Structure 1
Amino acid sequence: MAPTPTTPPAPVRSAYGRHPLQHGFLHRAPGAAPRGSIVVIHGGFWRSGLGSGQLRPLAESLAAEGWNAWEIDYRTVGADGGWPETFDDILAAVEHLAVLSRDLRFRPGPVVTLGHSAGGQLAVAAAARLVTGHGDGVRVAGAVSLAGVLDLTQAVKDDLGDGATPGFLGGSPEEAPERYAAADPCTLAEHSSWPVWVRSVHAETDSMVPIAQSVHFTDVARAAGWDADLIPVEGDHFTVVSATDASWRKTLNALGELPTQAGWKPAG
């Protein structure tokens, strides 16, 4: 048997829509049997300014660990985004994996959404929406939140990101209750009819997005029957997205639990 290559192929750029921000880079795992596919979602409090390149080292690390990493960009507030356009882009990008797997002839395996900060909210909300498979049939097996904004009502009370949450959803919870109900991971967990596998990695001394966001979400999700767990780590808001920090190894280890925890089996 030929040895499995250790260097992933060069990333492939692909557009999932017509807007300049509706694109991503697929980092293919080496070998013929990837462990699954991870949709990598950057943060930035849903505002323009950051791009998918922010999390490229994580995507490269995931590919080296045997995962296909679909590192995406999307419309943000200030760049034709907001609600629902930003979230629609996340769903479309996930569904685009069906196109990529067909065109590039690979098995996506279990699909996990992984997001940092505001990207954590997008990752968990997308998993809640797509856990049973919709659209082209891409089923999301679970989500990983890295220092995620997972309690939107509390985020408004704490004014996280200087008004970022009402800026994203077009108002306060009182002004836009239907939008909060559709976007808030805590509310989605409370009202979900299907359990979701979620791991929240959060630094205990994060001053930008307090760990209380992940603590409360995990409590709510567990009470709702989700397979949710909190993984506290050392560092700050950006430590969790450093591919050279020990916290990233904890994230990789958590992903390694996915096949058993979520009822999937690795390819091959």
Structure 2
Amino acid sequence: MRIMLMTALTTLVLSPALHGQRLSWRDILQRLENDRPQPDFVYPYAGEDTLQFGELWLPNHGSSHPVVVLIHGGCWLDQYPGVELVYYIADDLRSRGYAVWNLEYRRIGYPGSGYPGTFLDIAQGMDFLRTIAGKHRLDLDHVITMGHSAGGHLALWLAMRKNIPASSPLFADDPLPVHNVISLAGIGDLAYFSHFGAPACGDNTVEELIDWSNRGKEAALEDTSPDHLLPFDGKQYLIHGVFDAAVPPFIGLQYNEKSKAKNQESELIIIPDSGHFEIIVPWSDAWKKILPLVKEAMRS
């Protein structure tokens, strides 16, 4: 049954006749030229590096705000756009009563990126919420992470930081807890993605991200790949567009099965008539299907 399902998903992804015209990141940037929502505050979370900052989007009502930590994708590569790619869903979530902490981070191609820099950026950005929570009435008992593509990997990783070995430079004594995770076309098994899905991001991107060649495969994966850090005390929602060619649904299927085998509460959701980017724009049918899951993840 598993093989049949993976075959069917792969056939859908690879069939040009079924794809039609899919949204691209360039379409999002083009729309931003004339319609660009703005965050309420921008905070550096670590030093003075230009990419170590977060943008806070605050609702204009409510005495206390549950928090969505939002992490953009882009193959972990500096050549692609950053926080602006998720501006529209940040704005939409803000309008629905959520505080959104939209994290920028150093990516491959930028000094200090890769291992451990990219991971430390995301971790420091996450924990910085403790610094600003009182000022902005952030409810740190209700924090979920949400990431797209490479950001989905980092969103999953944040939830599992407490399982990182103490010998790792990524270890933290008291990481800010994550309630649940929403992974939008995310990558939970770096080795599997490197082998089966990497061409979308470049053949050696994963290896460069985690310093695979110098650290050795298993050592590099044990503190960076979510499948090596399972389980965590929460639920992960693994959302994939059925026509996503960048991170095909079988990537989520494989990780979902591995997660359940390790007693992780996990749900795979395949969004019909959606590619890689329809799931991060609020005018899509895909986003309408995702919103109830955000509410559930924050409440449960």
TM-score range, shorter chain: 0.7 to 0.9
Do the aligned partners of residues 101 and 136 (structure 1) sit closer, same or farther apart at CA in structure 2, a change above 3 Å counting?
farther
Q: How does 1:106-117 map to 2 (within 5 A)?
A: 106-117=138-149
Q: Which residue of 1 aligns with 2:55?
A: 25
Alignment equivalent of 1:97, drawn from 129, 134, 137: 129
Shift in Å at residue 56 of structure 1? 0.8
- For 1:79 and 1:137, how far apart are their aligned partners in 2? 26
Residue deviations 1:91-117 (CA, integer Å, cap 9, x gap): 111101111112334434411111111
Q: How does 1:182-197 map to 2 (within 5 A)?
A: 182-189=223-230, 192=231, 194-197=232-235
Residue deviations 1:202-238 (CA, integer Å, cap 9, x gap): 0112111111111111111122222210111121111
Which residue type is aligned with residue 96 of structure 1? F
Paired residues, what number? Answer: 249
The question of 1:145 aligning with 2:177 is answered no
The question of 1:15 aligning with 2:31 is answered no
Do the aligned partners of residues 102 and 251 (structure 1) sit closer, same or farther apart at CA in structure 2, a change above 3 Å counting?
same
Q: 1:68–1:108: 8 Å Cα contact kept in structure 2? A: no
Do the aligned partners of residues 34 and 200 (structure 1) sit closer, same or farther apart at CA in structure 2, a change above 3 Å counting?
farther
Shift in Å at residue 55 of structure 1? 0.6
Pick the structure with more helix per residue.
2
SS at match of 2:267: strand
Shift in Å at residue 171 of structure 1? 2.7
Do the aligned partners of residues 64 and 82 (structure 1) sit closer, same or farther apart at CA in structure 2, a change above 3 Å counting?
same
Residue deviations 1:13-45 (CA, integer Å, cap 9, x gap): 111012110101100122124551011101111
Alignment equivalent of 1:67, drawn from 93, 98, 121: 98
Runs of 5+ in structure 1 lacking a partner? 1-7, 262-268
Do the aligned partners of residues 214 and 109 (structure 1) sit closer, same or farther apart at CA in structure 2, a change above 3 Å counting?
same
Q: 1:145–1:199: 8 Å Cα contact kept in structure 2? A: yes
Do the aligned partners of residues 94 and 147 (structure 1) sit closer, same or farther apart at CA in structure 2, a change above 3 Å counting?
same
In the superposition, the TM-score normalised over structure 1's length comes to: 0.85
Which residue type is aligned with residue 188 of structure 1? L
Q: Which residue of 2 aligns with 1:5?
A: none
CA RMSD of aligned residues (A): 2.3
- For 2:218 and 2:175, how far apart are their aligned partners in 1? 29
Shift in Å at residue 138 of structure 1? 2.4
Q: How does 1:1-268 map to 2 (within 5 A)?
A: 11-18=40-47, 19-34=49-64, 36-49=66-79, 50-80=81-111, 81-129=113-161, 138-158=176-196, 159-160=198-199, 161-163=201-203, 164-171=205-212, 175-189=216-230, 192=231, 194-233=232-271, 234-261=273-300
In the superposition, the TM-score normalised over structure 2's length comes to: 0.77
Sequence identity (%): 26
Q: 2:144–2:179: 8 Å Cα contact kept in structure 1? A: yes
Which residue type is aligned with residue 69 of structure 1? V
Shift in Å at residue 258 of structure 1? 2.1
- For 2:162 and 2:95, how far apart are their aligned partners in 1? 26
Runs of 5+ in structure 2 lacking a partner? 1-36, 164-171
